[in-house]
Amino acid sequence: MAGAAVATGLEGVVATSTKLSMVDGQAGELVIGGYPIGELAGKVSFEEAATMLWRGALPAKEDAPAIQKELASYRALRPETLEIIKTARNAPPIDALRMACATLSLDVSNPNDISPAGDLALAKRLTARFPTVVAAHARLRQGHDPIPPRSDLNLAANFLYMVFGEEPHPAVAKALDTYWVTVMDHGMNASTFTARVIASTRSDMVSAVTGAVGALKGPLHGGAPGPVLDMLVDIKSAEKAEAWLSKELDAGRRIMGFGHRVYKVRDPRAEVLARTAEEMAGADLQNRKLYDLARSVEKTALRLLEQRKPGRNLKTNVEFYTALVLQSVGLQPDQFVAMFACGRVAGWCAHVTEQHAQDRLIRPQSEYTGPRGLTVGKR
């Protein structure tokens, strides 16, 4: 559009209104469904928090068992989905999840139903089945058969059971549950926007969420928790942190786990997950050593970043403590992005439902910068 200002990366552009979540980057605040993230994560289950996003209000505490039971009834995968996961056993977990996601409406009579009831039915299936897909893939790439889901465990505990073959310690299941609540929604991020663009065409829930998984795969969005753990392992000890970090900064490389497109102060999700990581560290000596190292690295990194890049406000983000929490429950770094998707899917589904209700095609303009007036002439 001639004369219009171009907002590269849609920086500062307000594309829609939402009742689902609010991110205040200056104040370091994340509100989901009216609740600061610290009021939800670790205090209500992932199933309850997801239901709040889908229905607009936190369910009564006495309804939690029924909600858990209903979602548990959708966990099992169809044979066609399992075949795709088997074919993708050597692919990265996030790729296997993307491939499998497209099949998760095969048992729905009308997957193109974008009514509130149709969207809710698919939201429940997608949220219940994402962990089953990731767990089945984990087993298959280790040369084992997938373990069928149980209905008597909550979503987090059942996932860990399907991966490791034994019922997890309650503290471990709670840590994963807390993580999923912490990352379930976060304003108009890239994957959520992708889902809403697809939904705005009146396409279905599964198509929109499959697209969101593809957006999450990109390292600028969901790909840094694994490298955070690699960094900590490479540093080895608090005494070596300053030299290691200085060398990275001298080379112009990014320090993983610091800086955020929106937050100019410490990411509030990092606060929640730091507490969760500390709780896990208290029960395990190896986790304690890694946690203590992480706190030391964090302190040193923040000091160096302020010295080297003053005014950039490169503070701790969610990825830093995500690495500690997910490794403490026994997961591998290449599984971290898929685990993020298992939490974020609840938010994606809520945004798709909201976009369907708005029923407005998202169609921005672009500024043409190419040549004009060319002719083919003689060739």
pLDDT in tens, the chain (379 residues): 455 677 777 777 778 899 999 999 889 899 999 999 999 999 999 999 999 999 999 999 999 999 999 999 999 999 999 999 999 999 999 999 999 999 999 999 999 999 999 999 999 999 999 999 999 999 999 999 999 999 999 999 999 999 999 999 999 999 999 999 999 999 999 999 999 999 999 999 999 999 999 999 998 887 666 788 889 999 999 999 999 999 999 999 999 899 888 888 899 999 999 999 999 887 665 678 899 999 999 999 999 999 999 989 999 998 899 989 999 999 999 999 999 999 999 999 999 999 999 999 999 888 889 999 999 987 7
pLDDT at 211: 98
Query: Does 3 map to a domain?
Result: no
Shared domain for 174 and 291, answered yes or no, is no
pLDDT at 219: 84
pLDDT at 321: 92
- pTM exceeds 0.85, yes or no: yes
pLDDT at 285: 59
Shared domain for 246 and 216, answered yes or no, is no
Query: Does 366 map to a domain?
Result: no
Query: Does 369 map to a domain?
Result: no
Shared domain for 166 and 28, answered yes or no, is yes
Shared domain for 135 and 254, answered yes or no, is no
pLDDT at 310: 92
Instruction: Supply the range of the domain harboring residue 76.
Output: 21-222+343-358
Query: Does 62 map to a domain?
Result: yes
| CATH number (domain holding residue 289) | 1.10.230.10
Shared domain for 319 and 349, answered yes or no, is no
Shared domain for 164 and 262, answered yes or no, is no
Shared domain for 233 and 206, answered yes or no, is no
Q: Is 222 in contact with 280 (CB distance < 8 Å)?
A: no
Shared domain for 146 and 291, answered yes or no, is no
Query: Does 352 map to a domain?
Result: yes
Query: Does 15 map to a domain?
Result: no
Q: What is the three-state SS of the chain?
A: CCCCCCCHHHCCCCCCCCCCEEEECCCCEEEECCEEHHHHECCECHHHHHHHHHHCCCCCHHHHHHHHHHHHCCCCCCHHHHHHHHHCCCCCHHHHHHHHHCCCCCCCCCCCCCCHHHHHHHHHHHHHHHHHHHHHHHHHHCCCCCCCCCCCCCHHHHHHHHHHCCCCCHHHHHHHHHHHHHCCCCCCCHHHHHHHHHHHCCCCHHHHHHHHHHHHHCCCCCCCHHHHHHHHHHHCCHHHHHHHHHHHHHCCCCCCCECCCCCCCCCHHHHHHHHHHHHHHCCCHHHHHHHHHHHHHHHHHHHHHHHHCCCCCCCECHHHHHHHHHHHCCCCHHHHHHHHHHHHHHHHHHHHHHHHHHCCCCCCCCCCCCCCCCCCCCC
| Backbone phi and psi for residue 24, each to the nearest 5 degrees, phi listed first | -110, 100
Shared domain for 230 and 192, answered yes or no, is no
> In angstroms, rounded to a whole number, what is the distance separating the alpha carbons of residues 236 and 241?
8
Shared domain for 194 and 246, answered yes or no, is no
Shared domain for 127 and 263, answered yes or no, is no
Residues labelled as active-site residues = 260, 319
Number of domains present in the structure of the chain: 2
pLDDT at 223: 66
Query: Hey, what are 188's tokens?
Result: 């108009």
Shared domain for 144 and 262, answered yes or no, is no
| CATH number (domain holding residue 353) | 1.10.580.10
